[in-house]
Structure 1
Amino acid sequence: MAGGGGDAAAAAVKKDVEAEVVIVGGGIAGLATALALRRAGVACGRGGGILVLERHAGLRATGAALTIFPNGWFALRALGVAHKLTSRYDAYETSEVTNLESGATQVFRFAGNKNRGEEVRVRALGRKALLEALAEELPPGTVRFSSKLVSIDTERAAGDSSETVVLRLDDGTVIRAKVLIGCDGVHSVVARWLGLPEPASSGRSCVRGLSIFPNGHGIKRELRQFLSQGLRAGMVPISDTDVYWFLVNDTVPAEKEAAGDPAKTLREVTENLAGHMPAEYLNVVRHSDHGNLSWAPLLYRNPVSLLTGAAARGAVTVAGDAFHPMTPDMAQGGCSALEDAVVLARALARAATPAEGVAAYVARRRWRAAWLVAGAFLSGWVQQGGTNVRGVRGRLVRMFRDWVFYPFVFPRLADTMWFDCGDLAPPCTDGKSHGE
């Protein structure tokens, strides 16, 4: 795929560029949205078409792996790429959660619906593999790399009631677009321009890693989690040689000291934070690939602000983490971003104007996004925060977790993984958008 680096970027410096749709951010949400728009026929064959701006020099893969639940596979199937990933990654059916203080283990089964097809079973997969599967479906030149957005403005053309979005990049390039979609992550420039509140701190952080066992790891294909005081650890194989692991902890000063230093991060995990974890888990951590290790605070956007905040202005909106950052406790960040892509593309394709399509998308996604963010926060607090509460209050929290949350609340939250975002209209062949 052609990018924006090298000679191509140099030639574009201080040139005006026009595009039908500009997407800021070339992560999961950005690439999925670009592909969804093409599948739905939005801006198909028109001047400027779809342009994705990615500030890095190549595809970025923050985080080593992710879990895709059925709702994510429904979206990937609508995008036409599910088969590329299901053929590479095997499904798993169980999740075990062990309380290290009591020794009790809860076993959860991801009950599949055979009528929905083999594709929609739960799988853990490499994040980069997902990005590549999406990017391969886009025409050369769709993604412009090394392109950092620095400002957003709007202008109204004479005799035209619609607004044009004017973007300025750090290299002096000016881009005019009819639609702007911010897929630029938790600290989104587009979300800030819209006026959405800044994400809040959950008071927790997460270490994520990918461990490599060249001769095979021999670990059962299931998600295993371990709860301890203020900690939640987990691991899941994504292939015969690779294991994804994570550790969610109450934020500690050592996180800043270890920033950007994989050796310090691993030492802090194995010697201090998780030294009491099971030997099998620690063995996985010690086999970590330093290039796939991260330790970052967990942020979320208040669900109330998702329901009431300005998630759109005219034909400008946001998707993925730029819209609804959430803690990873329900593993729905990537899945919900894929849902956004399909719903947004379909809304734009059906609407008479881009602004109407954007408004329809936001109205459709607000409540689900708020529910996912709230559910993830509750799940994290009960499973992890509850282990760090002492005395009578602590016992009540743990009773709620073991006798109410796991048997009754968690299954309800798990129902969100069966949400089907629907299909996309077939791509256009006459050079016109379905919205025309």
Structure 2
Amino acid sequence: MATPLRVLIHGGGIGGLTLATALARRGHTVEVAELRDEVDALGVGIIQPSNALHVMREIGVLDDCLEAGFEWEVLTIADPAGNTLAEIPQPRMGDAPSNNGIPRPALARVLNSAAVGAGAKIRIGTTITELTDDGQGVDVTLSDGSSGRWDLVVGFDGIGSPLRTRLYGDRYTPEYTGFANWRVTVPRQPQVRGVVMGTAGKDAKALLTPITEELMYLGAVFAEAEDFRPDPERAHEQLTERLSMFSGPVAEALATVTDPASVVYSRISQVTVEEPWHVGRVVLAGDAAHASTPHIAQGAAMAVEDALVLAESLDAEAEVAAALDAWEARRRPRAMWVQAMSRAVLKQETGSGTTSKEDELLKVGIPGAAHVLVKPY
């Protein structure tokens, strides 16, 4: 773009703050409207694979992420007792590390600081209440009573995206997969220096993921009824019951969990917006457009890739419409591949039936997927 743009980002999560930083560093005027009362992150930890870390390098925060987290290079496969079955080195994208585990709140602080430092304005406790796109710009009224005109509005507002509903009605509501994720932060065991995936056939899988020198998180996926919610008085006991076939490191980690409120439970859903991800000058990105299951740890990576590629596309094109077309042409095939691969792995790990297309994807496997995703995008 020859002229800097005014861009409103709806959502101050990982993707939204990455885009805010990338655009503000390029001289665009950027504001972020975040519904929550503070720019923080719920949950436990997150894996930043090498392609996500490549984006962090591009927006200038790689060192901050590595300092706040735990860098690792090898995926370990273990039996239910914790005995090592295989050690799989992880690939790198360029000179970015293979992986980094990081607490979600720490990553939120890093990205918020970067966005503000680059010149973006963050409006907390604020959402869009009215929006009119006349083809030349977008007039927006926010819930704090302010209004303005923007050259581009970007929805990084998550799987339950209000902006997606505004654009498409109820055509793309989240689809529950039948499975849910249980996670809890525990002290890091000295031997856990990378992700340790403990497997007990199709009945259960448990992952130990280091996120700092002191902490790791335990994660597990189980089939759960759509209306199930953990008992607030004994969620930690319910998780222990589900992982009763594990001994060794998993059992040791569970023994440290005494507070049921520390267990984070989230249903696994996905969204696929089949129509174009942009309507006029309003665009959806990240989970708002293509939420995936977490089975190859690429959901947040796809969001930050979306953000960087959108900034690059706006650099390369003279008009907003052309930039959005170019952005989606680059992003849709890769994001849809990640979504399909993630869903196939979920079904395989839980013993569900797979399609012939999913069987072909599963021949690539999780290690192969990592090698696919460190290629340039």
| TM-score in terms of structure 2 length | 0.86
Compared CA separation, residues 106 and 417, structure 1 to 2 (3 A): farther
Which has the larger displacement, 91-100 or 176-185? 91-100
| Most deviating of 52-61 and 227-236 | 227-236
Q: Distance in 1 between matches of 2:366 and 2:208?
A: 20
- CA change 1:129–1:137 in 2 (3 A) is same
Partner of 2:13: 27
Report the CA distance between 1:350 and its aligned residue.
Answer: 2.1
State the one-letter code of the partner of 1:202.
T
Q: 1:151 to 1:384 in 2, by over 3 A?
A: farther
> Secondary structure at the residue paired with 1:227?
strand
User: How far is 1:108 from its partner?
Assistant: 4.3
Given that 1:235 and 1:243 are in contact with CA atoms closer than 8 Å, whether structure 2 keeps it comes out as: yes
Q: What's the CA shift for 1:358?
A: 1.6
Deviation per CA, 1:242-270: give whole Å up to 9, x if none. Answer: 11111111013783253xx3x43212111
1:275 aligns with 2:244: yes
Name the counterpart of 1:430: none
Q: Summarize the alignment of residues 13-92 of structure 1 with structure 2, pairs less than 5 Å apart.
A: 20-41=6-27, 43=28, 49-92=29-72
Instruction: Answer yes or no: is 1:129 the counterpart of 2:99.
Output: no
* 3-state secondary structure, aligned to 2:228: helix
Unaligned residue ranges in structure 1 (runs of 5+): 1-18, 44-48, 157-161, 422-436
Q: State whether structure 2 residue 209 is matched by structure 1 residue 223.
A: no
Shift of 1:64: 1.1
Q: CA deviation at 1:416?
A: 3.0
Counterpart pick for 1:234 among 207, 218, 222: 207
Q: Is the counterpart of residue 179 in structure 1 residue 165 in structure 2? A: no
Q: CA deviation at 1:210?
A: 1.2
Residue 166 of structure 1: how far off its partner (Å): 2.9
What amino acid does structure 2 have at the position aligned with 1:416?
V
Residue of structure 2 aligned with 1:205, choices 180, 192, 199: 180
How much has 1:286 moved relative to structure 2? Answer: 4.1
Q: What is the CA–CA distance in structure 2 between the aligned matches of 1:267 and 1:417, rounded to whole Å? A: 37
Secondary structure of the 1:168 match is: strand
Cα distance in 2, alignment partners of residues 407 and 360 from structure 1: 31
Q: Which residue of the partner structure matches residue 163 of structure 1?
A: 136
Cα displacement (A) at 1:412:
3.0
1:410 to 2:366 alignment: yes
Given candidates 329, 335, 353, the residue that maps to 1:363 is 329
Looking at structure 2, the residues matched to 232 and 97 of structure 1 have their Cα atoms a distance apart, in angstroms, of 10
Letter in 2 for 1:187: G
Q: Using a 3 Å threshold, how does the CA distance of structure 1 residues 242 and 104 change in structure 2: closer, same or farther? A: closer
Rounded Cα–Cα distance in structure 1 between residues aligned with 2:70 and 2:45: 14
- Cα deviation, 1:28-70, whole Å, max 9, x if unaligned, reads 01100101112333x2xxxxx2110111111231321111111
Helix, strand or coil for the counterpart of 1:163?
A: coil
Specify the alignment match of 1:5 in structure 2: none
1:300 counterpart = 2:270: yes
Greater length-normalized contact order (CA 8 Å, ≥ 6 residues apart) = 1
User: More displaced, 78-87 or 320-329?
Assistant: 78-87
Whether 1:188 and 2:168 are equivalent positions in the alignment is no
Which one-letter code corresponds to 1:116 in the other structure?
G
Residues 22 and 293 (structure 1 numbering): CA distance in 2 closer, same or farther, change over 3 Å? farther
Q: 1:367 to 1:124 in 2, by over 3 A?
A: same
Please tell me the residue identity of whatever aligns with 2:99.
V
**Amino acid aligned to 1:94:** V
* C-alpha distance in structure 2 between counterparts of 1:278 and 1:152, whole Å: 54
Letter in 1 for 2:109: E
| Residue number among 220, 235, 241 corresponding to 1:265 in the alignment | 235
Hey, what's the Cα distance between the residues in 2 that align with 1:230 and 1:312? 41
Give the whole-Å Cα distance in 2 for the aligned partners of 1:290 and 1:91.
29
Given that 1:210 and 1:243 are in contact with CA atoms closer than 8 Å, whether structure 2 keeps it comes out as yes
The Cα offsets for residues 365-395 of structure 1, whole Å up to 9 and x where unpaired, read as 1111100000111111112235xx8xxx9xx
Q: Deviations over 1:292-319 (max 9, x none)?
A: 53211101124xx4xx413111111111
TM-score normalized with structure 1 length: 0.76
5+ long unaligned stretches in structure 2: none
Partner of 1:159: none
Partner amino acid, structure 2, of 1:137: A
C-alpha contact 1:220 1:237 (8 A) present in aligned 2: yes
> How far off its partner does 1:105 sit?
6.1
Per-residue CA shift, 1:197-230, capped at 9, x if unaligned? Answer: 222111101012212x3xx632331212233444
SS in structure 1 of the partner of residue 38 of structure 2 = coil
Partner SS for 1:340: helix
TM-superposition CA deviations, 1:87-142 (whole Å, max 9, x none):
343422222334559x99652423445x933x322121112222211211223661
**For residue 409 of structure 1, what is the amino acid of its counterpart?**
G
What is the distance in 2 between the residues matched to 1:374 and 1:274? 27
Give me the whole-angstrom Cα distance separating, in 1, the residues matched to 2:159 and 2:364: 31
Residue of structure 1 equivalent to 2:229: 256
3-state SS of paired residue (2:47): strand
* Residue aligning to 1:339: 305
Structure 1 pair 318–297 and aligned structure 2 pair: CA distance change class (3 A):
same
> Which residue type is aligned with residue 22 of structure 1?
L
